[in-house]
Amino acid sequence: MKTNPRNILLITTDQMRFDALGCNGGQVARTPNIDHLAATGINYSRAHNQNVVCMPARATIVTGQHVASHGVWMNGVALPENQATVAHHLKANGYQTALLGKAHFEPWLGDPADFFENRMAEAGSTGPHRGFDHMELANHFFEGHSHYDHWMKNHPDYKARFYPMVTDRGQNTIGKGETGALQVWPMDVPTELYHTHWVAERTIDWLSGIDQDPFFCWMSFPDPHHPWDIPANEKTRLDWRNVPLPHLYRETHAARLALLKQKPKHWLGYYEGSLWSNLESPRDFVPADLTTDQIKEINAYTHIENELIDEAIGRVIDWLESKNLMETTDIFFTTDHGELQGDFGLLFKGPYHVDALMRLPFIWKPAGCADVSAASIDAPVGHLDLAPTFCDIAGIQTPDYCEGQPLPLSIDDAAQQPRDSILTEWDSEHGPITMHLKSIYRADGWLMTCYGPSHLYDGSEGELYNMTEDPDQTVNLWDDPERQAVKTDLREQLFESLPAPRSPALPRVAPV
């Protein structure tokens, strides 16, 4: 290890789009603290996750592996407790380690008897677990498992005002906003009791109680993931009526149909409510029934949640500055996956490899002592590159199990160590519906998604986009006779690059 290893603060959100931030072109939410990290650090403009739902994405972050290798192939598949993580590796090399907020390496609807994450709060435990000396967990719902859930028992009246835990098919489409939009849930709860505030405060508390040199701290916000349940006093930040409709939302039903019909059939099936392929989208939800006002209100609440996150991050940065720790602390900011947020007339997430879900906000603010200039880098990078980068900062060898590489620190660095592509996978089983998607995004701007054989597809279907000419992914070139050579080349590169899937496959043991 280097004589003076630097501290590492990893900040993640849950279900945040690339364009949510001002530094990435966002025009609504005010995110000055995150924007400042980007302006004074490195903003990776073409970062992709390796899976577009929570558990597989988070398993990649903590292992530095593709989904095929770590084996968490869908939500509800637990990362084995004996899986080596970058937290283990940093801890073994002198780092103090913590995770505050959402972990989700184990199913949060799983039986506490089977999953340590779901029983540790009740047992009064804060770890160690998965290489983290200290864990205090929070989630979107009061499922009875998290430390935040138990802390809120001190405020039972307020606790009862949060969005109710999803327990039946009809309940998860309720809402009490002004438009009747599902899961919009303003609540008379002080901002200081909201989980965004709690995560930041628990992070500061942990940092205050340790010998800060060196530390690896993962601050993990549950928002802006649905339900959109902001403290009601925060509604004044933004009038939903003034929120613009998404660029990729077509205002007529006919125009939405035309856009969806040139994509594989599960897109239109989801829109019309005839095909359900992801548990995170309520089974009774029909996107075609959404009104423009409902989309505006949902997005207004999302923007407000993002502003609250930015302000919470600002409090932690202020604390680091007050302790003169910015000079020795590298800060990373990203999310696990995005949200459709009205694009193509759809909400939530699922088997759709589009920028709304796959492209990530991805920022690295190196420590003040690092000799690095601010930069915007468009080389393809991803979640699997975080663990090797952490090891590089710590001055220790990257474990053999990691499949990424340290992130480029400059445009010249990216040019000298060219990154040709980044891969994203999806596999799921929901009742009779199975889905298998494998995607490659290449540095020349091509994006291809191959559909494996399933109950819906015979394996010959897919999507092909020239992202330079068609960044909105509105013209599927899969069957274009003039694009068959590039499709063949991309297919070969994709399947040569993908690791062999873990065998035997890990079991799905709970819903999510």
CATH number, position 381: 3.40.720.10
The SS3 assignment for 409 reads coil
Asked if residue 474 is part of any domain, the answer here is no
Cα(74)–Cα(55) distance, rounded to whole angstroms? 7
Q: Count of domains in the chain?
A: 1
Note every long-range contact of 420-424, with CB atoms under 8 Å and residues 24 or more positions apart, other chains counting: 420/380, 420/493, 421/380, 421/493, 421/497, 422/46, 422/47, 422/48, 422/380, 422/381, 422/382, 423/50, 423/66, 423/382, 423/494, 423/497, 423/498, 424/48, 424/49, 424/50, 424/51, 424/52, 424/353, 424/358
Count of Cβ atoms closer than 10 Å to residue 163 Cβ: 21
Rounded Cα gap, residues 3 and 288, in angstroms = 59
Is position 66 within any domain?
A: yes
Rounded-to-integer distance, Cα 220 and Cα 99, Å: 7
Helices (H) and strands (E) counted in the chain, each on its own, are 14, 15
Instruction: Note whether residue 365 is domain-resident.
Output: yes
Cα–Cα distances (Å) from 243 to 249, 256, 294, 298, 373, in that order, read: 13, 20, 11, 10, 35
CB 341 within 8 A of CB 18: no
Exposure of 241 by Cβ count < 10 A (0-12 exposed, 13-18 middle, 19+ buried)? exposed
CA angle (40 as vertex; 34, 45 as ends), nearest 5: 65
CA–CA gap between residue 368 and residue 325 (Å, rounded): 9
Could you give the 3-state DSSP secondary structure of residue 219?
strand
Q: Is 313 inside a domain boundary?
A: yes
Q: Report if residue 239 sits inside a domain.
A: yes
Q: Residue 374, Cα to own-chain centre: how many angstroms?
A: 24
pLDDT for 167: 56
pLDDT at 281: 87
pLDDT at 2: 42
**pLDDT of 143:** 87
Residue 394 DSSP symbol:
H
Handedness of CA 26, 27, 33, 36 (dihedral sign): positive
Q: Which amino acid is at 417?
A: Q
Helix (H) or strand (E) holding 377, with range, is strand 375-377
Q: What is the DSSP string of 412-463?
A: HHHHHS---EEEEEEEEEETTEEEEEEEEEETTSEEEEEEPS-SS--S--EE
The answer for 205, left when phi > 0, alpha when psi is -120 to 50, beta otherwise, is alpha
Instruction: Measure the CA angle with vertex 370, ends 57 and 26; round to 5°.
Output: 50
Please tell me the distance from the alpha carbon of residue 186 to that of residue 166, in angstroms, as a whole number: 17
In angstroms, the CA 99 to CA 218 distance is 5
Give the Cα separation of 295 and 288 in Å (integer). 11
**What per-residue confidence (pLDDT) applies to 454?**
95
C-alpha distances in angstroms, 198 versus 59, 257, 307, 482?
Answer: 24, 43, 15, 54
Cβ atoms within 10 Å, residue 332: 24
pTM, entire model: 0.97
Residue 455 lies in a domain: no
Per DSSP, what are the bridge partners of residue 135? 99
**96-101 and 134-137 as β-strands: parallel, antiparallel, unpaired?**
parallel
Tens of pLDDT along the chain (512 residues) come to 344 789 999 999 999 999 999 999 999 999 999 999 999 999 999 999 999 999 999 999 999 999 999 999 999 999 999 999 999 999 999 999 999 999 999 999 899 999 999 999 999 999 999 999 999 999 988 888 999 999 999 999 999 999 987 655 556 889 999 999 999 999 999 999 999 999 999 999 999 999 878 999 999 999 999 999 999 999 999 999 999 999 999 989 999 999 999 999 999 999 999 998 877 788 889 999 999 999 999 999 999 999 999 999 999 999 999 999 999 999 999 999 999 999 999 999 999 999 999 999 999 999 998 888 889 999 999 999 999 999 999 999 999 999 999 999 988 888 888 889 999 999 999 888 999 999 999 999 999 999 999 989 999 999 999 999 999 999 999 999 999 999 999 999 999 999 999 999 999 999 88
In a domain, 383, yes or no: yes
Q: Which two tokens stand for residue 361?
A: 């906000």
Given this model, what pLDDT does residue 13 score?
A: 98
* Angle ∠(497,501,505) on CA atoms, nearest 5: 165
- Which has the closest alpha carbon to 60: 99, 93, 81, 86? 86
Q: Which domain holds residue 85?
A: 7-419
329-335 and 7-14 strand pairing: parallel
User: What distance in Å separates the CA atoms of residue 44 and residue 375, rounded to the nearest whole number?
Assistant: 8
In a domain, 481, yes or no: no
Q: How far is CA 290 from the centre of its chain?
A: 24
